[in-house]
Amino acid sequence: MELTITAKVKISPNEEQKKLLLETLQAVKVGCNFVSEQVYQSKVLTRAKLINMTYETLRSHYSLRSQMSQSIAIAVIAKYKSAKSNDHNWSLVRFKKPEYDLVFNRDYSIRPNKIFSVNTLEGRVQIPYETKGMEHFFDGTWRFGTAKLVYKKQKYFLHIPMTKEIPDADLKEVKNILGVDVGLNFLAVTFNSQDTTTFFKGRHRKDKRGQYKRVRKSLQQKQTPSARRRLRAIGSRENRWMTDVNHQVSKALVEHAGKNSLIVLEELEGIRSATEKVRKRDRWYTVGWAFYQLRQMIEYKAKRNQSTVIAVDPAYTSQTCPKCGHTEKANRNKKKHIFHCKTCGYISNDDRIGAMNLHRKGMEYLVAVTTSA
């Protein structure tokens, strides 16, 4: 079974590159619309044939480079095919947004050393990207798909579909699904297949973190060598403490899940933070190394317990009704900490909604995996 998630990455082009990317996006859009008209009239959806039909014109009239001309034909075919599979009548597909489909290792490449390289009107350019949350995609188990270069509100993003092979043998034995919503007020909230919500409390963690922060701040202001020494000492003490907490939490969670469980976590924040609003709550924690470490510990301990860990897209987990799936911002009353579904009327404390939705996503995932095998 294959698992695909979309990594959303912010890239940081310099002023010159920004201009070049925008020109490239514009040229690609015009080129796509030209090719789309040819497809609309000729109904040709064969890659080689369409490239033959349009290549020379794209090169000479639209000044597009060789590889880009081919990628445009591929992108247009994909759009027509997806329109057709959505049961749309044969109609002209228009390209309105500044987007550019990039084939991996041909139109773009991306390396763990912070460099994203892309084909433009002026040839290859190398652009730094935000690596946070991307690190684990370079562990050799993920495949990079055809990426989209997206221009939105003066900023540039890459949407890269990442695919990984998941062993499905483990999943046939699943006896419990545990949705785990990790936070700071509660170390974690879980929801399992017996419809039980469990709160792993961690009130003191927030306080302790606050204490460390205050001490650090006063030491930073002093600027003396001894203050800096103490700062370093406190920093490593705080890290050791955090690691300790992570060991305890991961152990408790995996034990609570039991053998043959599917543990469902939220995808790491760095991957989505580029384009989506994230929960401000506990942000320092969910973007930091500690959260990443906790997840690695859970994965490691789960494996030893015949359990599997998956991470799912956390979009809307706090706004979606876990009973009927209805998503609306107004479902949640933050002030009163109440979740009240506008469609089916389901009411609950809002702390458990995230875990319930992760549990639900785990069920959907399991159905998809076991029925496709």
Chain residues binding Zn ion by CB under 5 A are: 321, 323-324, 326, 341, 343-344, 346
Smallest distance, Zn ion to C-beta of residue 345, A: 7
Min dist CB 336 to Zn ion, Å, is 18
C-beta of 79 vs 332, nearer to Zn ion: 332
Helices assigned H by DSSP within 176-332: 203-222, 225-257, 269-273, 283-286, 289-304
Beta bridge partners of 3: 164
Nearer to Zn ion, 35 or 321 (CB): 321
End-to-end, the C-alpha distance of the chain in Å comes to 7
Please name the residue that has the structure tokens 């946070």.
132
Indicate the residue among 141 and 343 with the shorter CB distance to Zn ion. 343
50: tokens are 């369409």
Least Å from the CB of residue 357 to Zn ion: 11
Task: Write down the least CB distance from residue 326 to Zn ion, Å.
Answer: 5
CB of 348 to Zn ion, least distance (A): 10
Contact 143, 162 (CB under 8 A): yes
Within 13 Å and on the Cβ side, how many CA atoms surround 256? Answer: 23
133 vs 322, which CB is nearer to Zn ion? 322
Please identify, using beta-carbon distances, which residue of 174 and 321 lies nearer to Zn ion.
321
Calpha distance 147→158 (Å, rounded) = 6
Q: 10 Å Cβ neighbour count for 299?
A: 18
Which run of H or E residues covers position 151?
strand 147-152
If the CB atoms of residues 301 and 359 are measured against Zn ion, the closer one turns out to be: 359
Radius of gyration, CA atoms only, the chain: 24
Please say which residue, 112 or 325, places its beta carbon nearer to Zn ion. 325
Q: CA-CA distance, 285 to 292, in Å (whole number)?
A: 9
Q: Smallest distance, Å, CB 319 to Zn ion?
A: 11
- Least gap, CB of 340 to Zn ion (angstroms): 9
Burial of 335: CB neighbours in 10 Å, binned 0-12, 13-18, 19+: exposed
CB of 341 to Zn ion, least distance (A): 3
Q: Which amino acid is at 356?
A: M
Give the residue with the Cβ less far from Zn ion, 248 or 327: 327
Question: What are the angstrom distances between the C-alpha of 354 and each of 38, 235, 279?
Answer: 48, 32, 11
Task: Tell me the C-alpha distance between 311 and 4, whole Å.
Answer: 11
